[in-house]
Structure formats: C-alpha cells, structure tokens
Amino acid sequence: MTQNRLVWLSAIGATVLLLSILGLGTESSVTAGLLDSLGLGGDDEAAVEHPPVPAEYKDKHMPTGWWTDPKAIEEGRKIYMGLVDPEVKCAKCHGEDGKPVKAGARDFRQGKRMDTYEDSFWFWRISEGVPKTKMKAWKDKLTEEQRWQVMAFEHTFSHGGKPEPHTHAQQAKR
C-alpha cells in the first residue's frame, strides 16, 4: 500500500470516528455520503457478505404472505414502537421511521442493503443479537411469531412505508 493511500485511509478513519462521537455514526447520511463518495460503503453494496446463518436458524423463513399481511405488519409496528412491551422498543435505536437515532443501529430505509438479508439471517440477528454491537437478543422477550411480525414491519421502511414482498437474489437460490 502506498504512503498516500495510508494517509487517506487514516484521515477517513479519523473523520468517521469524529462523526461517530458527534452522534453521526456510520449509519448517518453524512458519514454514509462520505463513505459512498470514496467507494467504501453505502446502500449500493448489493453483494455484501454476511456470516453464515447457524443451523438452528437456517430453515426459518417468514410465514407465507406475512411480508405484505396488514395484520402481521400492524402487530409488528406495535412491538417495534414498544406498545406491546415497553422493554422491547426497536424504535429506541432504529428510529420510529427506520432512520437510526443511535450510532451503529441498522438503517432499515436502505433498500438495497436490506435486500441482502435473507429472512433466516435477519430472524437470527433479531433472535440472538449482533456480537460487538448494542443489538440485544430478543428471543427471550419476543415469541417467534412476534419476531416475524417485527421483521415484516421493519421491511416496510425500505419500501417507502409500503408492504412489499422480500425478494432478492439470495432467496431465489432456495
């Protein structure tokens, strides 16, 4: 690696750290725009590599029709907003409109990014949490049905608030 490239990467790292300290973490539009302009991130990463889904979750899939089912989505909205159990309020970190209010929280509005998540991967992360982040495991607070409902609601953010089927290349391989 050239010395110029190392200097630039150090500067980028320092900028991202500063934006994070200011509450504009890597999910913010400011930071995302900076990373995008440098070709280092953002919503256009359709080919994102994810860790493999553990065997116990690999065969878990959204119940048929729930991505667009108004009842499932409404139940998911209630859970997400903390109306079912005040201890479970996804909006506290991910924002009421899917725009993160805490640094590091996933931005559910990023359609291309969200489409990279297979339903089993997404369900696993809600269930078990995400290591080295503030994302908690919710399997002890939410039933399996409730976790699917929350996912169905969260998915609407990446489609302008409208229910849409969750289809992408990875799911087509099943």
Could you tell me the residue ranges of all domains in the chain? 1-42, 48-172
CA pair distance 40, 145, nearest whole angstrom:
36
The reported pLDDT for the residue numbered 33 is 43
Distance between first and last Cα of the chain: 40
pLDDT above 50 (res 29): no
How large a percentage of the chain has pLDDT more than 70?
Answer: 68
Q: CB within 8 A of 44, min separation 6: which ones?
A: 36, 112
Q: Tell me which CATH homologous superfamily contains domain 48-172.
A: Cytochrome c-like domain (1.10.760.10)
Q: CB within 8 A of 65, min separation 6: which ones?
A: none
pLDDT above 80 (res 161): yes
Using one digit for the tens of pLDDT, what is the confidence trace for 61-96? Answer: 999 999 999 999 999 999 999 999 999 999 999 999
Using one digit for the tens of pLDDT, what is the confidence trace for 92-130? Answer: 999 999 999 998 899 999 988 888 889 999 999 999 999
Picking from 103, 108, 47, the residue whose alpha carbon sits closest to that of residue 77 is 108
Helices (H) and strands (E) in the chain, counts: 9, 0
Picking from 62, 47, 70, 81, the residue whose alpha carbon sits closest to that of residue 156 is 70
Q: Which helix (H) or strand (E) holds 84?
A: none
Is the CB of residue 53 less than 8 Å from the CB of residue 132? no
